[in-house]
Structure 1
């Protein structure tokens, strides 16, 4: 529980800094651009990318193989 609390505090600090930067730096003309960028990132990360081994696929955020605690490679979701 203690380690999770430390990470939450760190995350909240960076969220506060990002919000402060956004309030100071972003004008009304940049908001639609940020919204389109966020929608594009969301759409791209949802695409399945074929992985060369085992007939599996992974999302853009998971392009490297995951390993179990025993060192064996785990396969992603089959498609």
Structure 2
């Protein structure tokens, strides 16, 4: 991966390395709700379609991304 570079200068606005823990927590909430809903024998219409229907993505550790006009070479490495 020493030659791996970003193709576009879009950088995350964060100090967090990953959102994996936040996403896993959201999926657990969705799976739990699905199990409870199916246990109550409701229609499939009541099932949540996406994890972000229950969890606000803006509460996660990353705040999004922005475009850097003049990126430093260090930022373009993966």
Under a length normalisation based on structure 1, what TM-score does the superposition of the two structures give?
A: 0.31
Structure ranking higher in helix proportion: 1
Structure ranking higher in strand proportion: 1
**Higher relative contact order, chain-length normalized (CA < 8 Å, sep 6+):** 2
